[in-house]
């Protein structure tokens, strides 16, 4: 053991040594009481024997000795009880202190969380998030635009003409509910289940046809 540890022990080590000393003293009290109890019982038995022998005064002396040992036992028990209460208080104090330290750590953690999750801060974050969403939606509307405005095309007249045609077809009334039978006409020919060919594919087919014609002419020639 170093000189520093020997002459300047840590506080935790001092507490452990104190508790060890107290427990050692309690064990000594138990051993002393065991001896006193045995001697007190012997003194009482001797007093009984003295009475049987007719030695009344001697019996009284043995009983006095018995009472003295009983008094010593009571004193030792009181001292032991005092030390036991104190050591229990120390152990309970350590438990309370450690609980307090844990509660302090919990408080600091809650303080950190509360700072990050403060109502005002959360409200500010939510408000900023809503603003960003609004800005994004506004940007999307700008990008999408309004074809009628962007292309400067006024279709009001054509729309009115179409409505007039529909009124004439429907007997003067516009349909309130769209008919399920009305289907939009596809821009592509899907009746034969073929997709529209690209310009590159059309050029390749045309070139192949020209090659076939040339072969036929050569064979015929």
Mean pLDDT of 12-28: 84
Q: What is the pTM of this model?
A: 0.45
Within a domain: 51 = yes
Burial of 104 (0-12, 13-18, 19+ CB in 10 A): exposed
Domain that holds residue 63: 10-116
Within a domain: 150 = no
Within a domain: 33 = yes
pLDDT digits over 44-63, tens only? 999 999 998 888 898 999 99
Within a domain: 64 = yes
Mean pLDDT of 109-131: 85
Within a domain: 55 = yes
Quote the number of domains for the chain.
Answer: 1
Mean pLDDT of 110-139: 86
pLDDT for 215 beyond 70:
yes
Q: Round to whole Å and give the CA distance between 30 and 16.
A: 21
Within a domain: 97 = yes
Q: Is 193 left (phi over 0), alpha (psi -120 to 50) or beta?
A: left
Dihedral angle over CA of 80, 85, 91, 93, nearest 10? -150
Mean pLDDT of 184-188: 53
Res 77: pLDDT: 94
Q: Round to whole Å and give the CA distance between 139 and 137.
A: 5
Q: Round to whole Å and give the CA distance between 163 and 12.
A: 95
**Alpha-carbon distance values, 72 to 34, 40, 67 (Å):** 11, 10, 9
pLDDT for 32 beyond 80:
yes
Within a domain: 18 = yes
Mean pLDDT, the chain, integer? 79
pLDDT interval class at 8 (50, 70, 90): very low
CA atoms within 13 A on the CB side of 171: 0
**70-73-75 Cα angle (round to 5):** 110
Within a domain: 69 = yes
């Amino acid at each position: 053991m170093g000189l520093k540890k020997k002459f300047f022990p840590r506080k935790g080590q001092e507490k452990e040594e104190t508790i060890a000393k107290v427990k050692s003293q309690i064990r000594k009290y138990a051993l002393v009481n065991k001896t006193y109890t045995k001697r007190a019982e012997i003194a009482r038995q001797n007093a009984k024997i003295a009475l049987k022998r007719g030695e009344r005064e001697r019996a009284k002396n043995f009983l006095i000795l018995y009472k003295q040992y009983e008094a010593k036992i009571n004193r030792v028990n009181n001292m032991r009880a005092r030390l036991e209460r104190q050591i229990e208080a120390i152990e309970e104090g350590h438990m309370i202190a450690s609980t307090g330290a844990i509660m302090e750590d919990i408080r600091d953690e809650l303080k950190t969380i509360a700072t990050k999750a403060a109502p005002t801060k959360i409200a500010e974050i939510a408000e900023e998030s809503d603003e960003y969403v609004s800005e994004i939606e506004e940007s999307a509307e700008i990008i999408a635009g309004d074809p009628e405005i962007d292309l400067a095309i006024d279709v009001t007249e054509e729309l009115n003409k179409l409505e007039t045609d529909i009124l004439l077809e429907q007997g003067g009334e516009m349909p309130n509910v769209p008919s399920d039978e009305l289907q939009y006409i596809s821009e592509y020919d899907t009746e034969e289940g073929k997709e529209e060919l690209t310009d590159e594919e059309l050029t390749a087919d045309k070139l192949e046809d020209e090659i076939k014609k040339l072969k036929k002419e050569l064979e015929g020639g």
